[in-house]
Amino acid sequence: MRKMLANALEIFERHSGWIIWNLFLAFIPLVLSVWLFRRKVIARNWGWWIIYIVFIAFLPNAPYLLTDIIHLIRIIRAGYSVWVITLIFIPLHVFAIMAGLEAYVLSLINQGHYLKKQGAKQYIFASEILTHILCALGVYLGRFRRFNSWDLVTQPDVVFLKTLDDLTTKKPLVVIIITFLAITISYTVMKQVTLGLILQLRRIYSGLDELDSDEFPQR
């Protein structure tokens, strides 16, 4: 058992050390979305817009975890122990991918909540599609060009030129389109699951409230 755990730790450091850092980056936009879209009083001043730009810049880090499946494929191909791969690394990578995707879904649900609150419910779907497009581009730049979110500030000219080059080249454009479709489909499925769970939790909470009021009636 000790040998298996030691082997798993070695494999993790070699192939999966990215998980903690990537999950941290994926949850930054989720935290920002709560501040941007879920506060009772929201003033769209210059500070709000700066945080919104940061939110958009970091948002691709959440669906980016979908592409990290390549690390799991490398582990499987490396010929490590079947038990280590099956019991540790497949669940670990699946959890990381699902957590990143869920952070993305919740971030956009919060954005949709804000639009609905502002009386712009009809723009929710369009905003989601536009966000998927931007994130598909961001995922491509992160995975293949190896850019980070902060490169938009540190080297914006390089990011702009590389992006322009990729958008006018056939192969990168195809990859971006495929990434967009993968993000859109994954988001659509996970959004329905998430909304269903939220609705169920609300029903349970409402039922508990009714039960409490029955057991402890107000006097």
What is the mean pLDDT of the segment spanning 124-145?
Answer: 92
Predicted confidence at residue 142, as pLDDT, reads 85
Band the pLDDT of 120: cuts 50, 70, 90.
very high
* Residue 59: partners with Cβ closer than 8 Å, 6 or more residues away: 29, 104, 107, 131, 134, 135, 138
Give the pLDDT confidence of 34-71 residue by residue, as tens digits: 999 999 888 889 999 999 999 999 999 999 998 888 87
Check pLDDT > 80 for residue 166. no
| Whole-prediction pTM | 0.82
The percentage of residues in the chain with a pLDDT greater than 70, rounded to a whole number, is 86
Predicted confidence at residue 210, as pLDDT, reads 54
Band the pLDDT of 88: cuts 50, 70, 90.
confident
Check pLDDT > 90 for residue 178. yes
Check pLDDT > 50 for residue 145. yes
